[in-house]
Structure 1
């Protein structure tokens, strides 16, 4: 009977490496799954907010810390037409022209910097502000800004311009614990958002940069001057996309 050589013994180092490779494969697969879930979450929330009233991150933060929140969800067609005109004139005059990000203003902001290289003007659109309020976090952060741009472009695809404006006007902060146009109109002018005059709408838009510091009911000289400029621009503003 012919002798048969036994099969060669497997290298012990190769045998011991197998569990490590399996562990690394599982780890990579789980990380990829986590990244897919994280990428899908903003889209899922955008689809939800296309039909349902959302809650902003500032509202959630106040609830978690036991602070009061006043917000009365109000459809856009129950707000005075002067309000979106004033807000667009103040915050985003090219609202109907861009696709979530106003690259014209972004390039201008990059070009116009001070001696320290910091931008002297903002380029945040209403879409970007809405995305920040609903999907991201507050504060100045290059990481947040980097996420804000693609999410704003995606939001402009998912939401109509009318829905974006409606979302913004319902989640914008207009005072300490005051969120949305309806709550702001009742707080400052003791009337519904539907009955706001153009001058009152301009005053609400004027305090948006710092609603904790400024008061629409008793405007400072700065707010009154700013509101006058906004009202003048709003008279020339048109929003055909609404």
Structure 2
């Protein structure tokens, strides 16, 4: 009975958020910086977010975003192989999986959460589609200290809207996404600077090969 209730509720939530902006997430609620500094976020439609940022996050996070069904088997297998060798645990999550986690679940590992994440990733691929997944991802991803979403991040770092992000700014935001509290977006140095330059170069491949075409069909 509990399982049926969970399945029903998950369908309701996914269908609801297909049309309605996500007001808040567990990640935001559990973020200590939000309680200390106040939450900074501003929902924007995909049309109001520069295509450079879409290209940048695909280049950085999920080059197969437009071709997979929510899961990248090759990336998962590589992550599993690296993790088997010990050291820092690495993931093979797609943008779809990250969106499912960010909207419906909590941060942190564990097979139980990953299993639920896979279920929600499957649902949003089927019900939302790629454009909505990207729109939600760019609005709920943590982009800085107590800062969530592309618009709030652009305003925080560059003092202007996410509707106009030059390639260099988009690449720096994407480079910081995995660890936005630790990686500087303004005047980055070391790894973050090199990674942003790599993302900037990959963005050309994303455009040339149409790796973002499902977002702009």
TM-score of the pair, normalised by structure 1: 0.81
Equivalent pair of 1:92/1:125 in contact (CA under 8 Å): yes
- SS in structure 2 of the partner of residue 194 of structure 1: coil
Counterpart pick for 1:223 among 192, 196, 213 = 192
Q: Distance in 2 between matches of 1:199 and 1:115?
A: 35
Deviation of 1:121 (Å): 4.5
1:125-136 equivalent positions in 2, closer than 5 A: 125-136=94-105
Range with greater deviation from structure 2 (218-227 or 174-183): 218-227
Counterpart pick for 1:90 among 35, 40, 60 = 60
Range with greater deviation from structure 2 (119-128 or 69-78): 119-128
Where in structure 1 do 4 or more consecutive aligned residues deviate above 6 Å?
Answer: none
Equivalent pair of 1:207/1:223 in contact (CA under 8 Å): yes
Q: Distance in 1 between matches of 2:195 and 2:79?
A: 21
Structure 2 partner of 1:173: 142
- SS in structure 1 of the partner of residue 214 of structure 2: coil
1:58 has 2:27 as partner: yes
Structure 2 partner of 1:149: 118
Structure 2 partner of 1:48: 16
Range with greater deviation from structure 2 (36-45 or 168-177): 36-45
- SS in structure 1 of the partner of residue 192 of structure 2: helix
Structure 2 partner of 1:35: 3
Superposition CA RMSD, Å: 1.8
Q: Distance in 2 between matches of 1:210 and 1:133?
A: 14
* Structure 2: gaps spanning 5 or more residues: none
Equivalent pair of 1:109/1:119 in contact (CA under 8 Å): no
Equivalent pair of 1:74/1:170 in contact (CA under 8 Å): yes
RCO (CA 8 Å, sep 6+): is it higher in 1 or 2?
2
- SS in structure 2 of the partner of residue 228 of structure 1: helix
- SS in structure 2 of the partner of residue 174 of structure 1: strand
TM-score of the pair, normalised by structure 2: 0.90
Per-residue CA deviations over 1:87-112 (Å, capped at 9, x if unaligned) read 01100110001111112222232334
1:210 has 2:183 as partner: no
